[in-house]
Amino acid sequence: MTNILISGAGVAGLALAHWSRRYGFTPTIVERAPALRSGGQAIDVRGTAREVVSRMGLMDAVRAHHTGTHGIAYVDATGRRRATMSGDAMGDSGGVIAEIEILRGDLVRLLQEAAGDIEYIYGDMITGLSEGADGVKATFRHAPARTFDLVVGADGVRSGVRALAFGDESRFVRDLGYYMSYFPAQTRLDLAGWELMHNLPAGNGFGGRACLLYPIRDSGEVRALLAFAAAPMPGEVRDVAAQKRLLARVFAGEGWELPGLLEQLRDTDDLYLSRVGEVRVDHWSSGRSVLLGDAAYGGSLGMGTSMALVGAYVLAGELATAGGDHRTALTRYEAEMREYVRINQKRPPGGARGFLPRTRRGIWLRDQVVRAMQHLPGGSAMAGNIQKSANAITLKGYEQI
């Protein structure tokens, strides 16, 4: 086996391209966007994923792009802090705040550089997969059909490869009841390394709502996260203009920093909005097709990037160890990853209701829980014992092959 088609130029796909090329395979990445997507939120690199980054030789570069965040503060409409959680509040090297937080765009750029000189097919997508004795024929919306030895779906929660090779997403994606969006903005607030979270009760015809500001070092730049609970609205999120109108409706008339953020939202095209879902797939491979990252195990809270990095390392390593025997390699990939994924897909107590309380009393109660769990015995367990979970896999030394 030599040629690998990877759908998706995100963290999982680019990390797999690096490792597979390092082991002598020939990866090709197809990406439906016209270029590498540079925007996105701040993401965490936790636990064993840090070791993967180190083995890639990227740790110094990743640390150099650390956003500088060291805690989260829950604020009311006046900006008063109602609860805080510092990075070391829960112990275990960072607790619920990751030791390393980096903008998704920065990490993707570093991974692309690490992948080296590989083939990219931008502005295209896989439209069909037909498996034969010697490979799988992939058809594309624009490019001519080609045959590959393996196809990898690293194309997110709404994976196109999964739909083609495994079936309709309704079998695998559990809707979590809310939308999340991100865009770059500026603020005059002195965040001093603190993320600021402002919750709003149900209003304007929507459920619980939230605005979270991620500081980008001391630059005055932030990533703004806007989230809200609602029934699925596919017709209202069809393009960026529609998404902007929707967000303006959701947060109309609200205070804190929201009026200024909505003004900045009107002037940017760097907006990402998606329906949040949790992915559960019984088997991650079907013949010569295999799922990686969010396409296989998306929907975790704070561990998606780390699982993608670890999964790419394990998948490429097992392919190399098996000498390209995809059946053996894919079985071993899943055996190595299953327990790690199971542990890290556990959602913290409260789930979406804790993130987006519907009432003012619910917001107040959530703040009390945040304040209390830093001081109570077992507080780390209340926070999901994130660091223990993040280290719940021991890496093999594949790169020594």
Residue 146 within any structural domain of the chain: yes
Residue 166 within any structural domain of the chain: yes
For 128-131, which contacts have Cβ atoms below 8 Å and span 24 or more sequence positions? 128/164, 129/161, 129/164, 129/165, 129/289, 131/287, 131/288, 131/289
CATH of the domain at 34: 3.50.50.60
Q: Is the confidence at residue 326, as pLDDT, over 50?
A: yes
Report the pLDDT value the prediction gives residue 98, as an integer from 0 to 100: 56
Which region, left, alpha or beta, applies to residue 85 given φ > 0 means left and ψ of -120 to 50 means alpha?
beta
Residue 125 within any structural domain of the chain: yes
Residue 328 within any structural domain of the chain: yes
Q: For the chain, how many structural domains are there in total?
A: 1
Residue 274 within any structural domain of the chain: no
Q: Is the confidence at residue 89, as pLDDT, over 80?
A: no
Report the pLDDT value the prediction gives residue 348, as an integer from 0 to 100: 64
Q: Is the confidence at residue 22, as pLDDT, over 90?
A: yes
Closest CA to 255 of 200, 206, 215, 203: 200
Show the domain range for 138.
3-68+102-172+279-347
Average pLDDT over all residues of the chain: 91
Q: Is the confidence at residue 42, as pLDDT, over 90?
A: no
Q: What is the Cα–Cα distance from 167 to 45, expressed in whole angstroms?
A: 31
What proportion of the chain, given as a percentage, has pLDDT over 90?
Answer: 76
Residue 307 within any structural domain of the chain: yes
CB atoms within 10 A of CB 323: 9
Region 372-401: mean pLDDT is: 75
Residue 93 within any structural domain of the chain: no
At 43, which helix (H) or strand (E)? strand 42-45
Would you state the structure tokens that stand for residue 133, as one six-digit string? 């004795």
DSSP state of 128: E
Report the pLDDT value the prediction gives residue 141, as an integer from 0 to 100: 97
Report the pLDDT value the prediction gives residue 328, as an integer from 0 to 100: 97
| 121-178 pLDDT, tens digit each | 999 999 999 999 889 999 999 999 999 999 999 999 999 999 999 999 899 999 999 9
Closest CA to 81 of 216, 247, 192, 188: 192
Q: Is the confidence at residue 40, as pLDDT, over 60?
A: yes
How far apart, in Å, are the Cα atoms of 73 and each of 86, 200, 213, 321?
A: 8, 15, 10, 46
Residue 192 within any structural domain of the chain: no
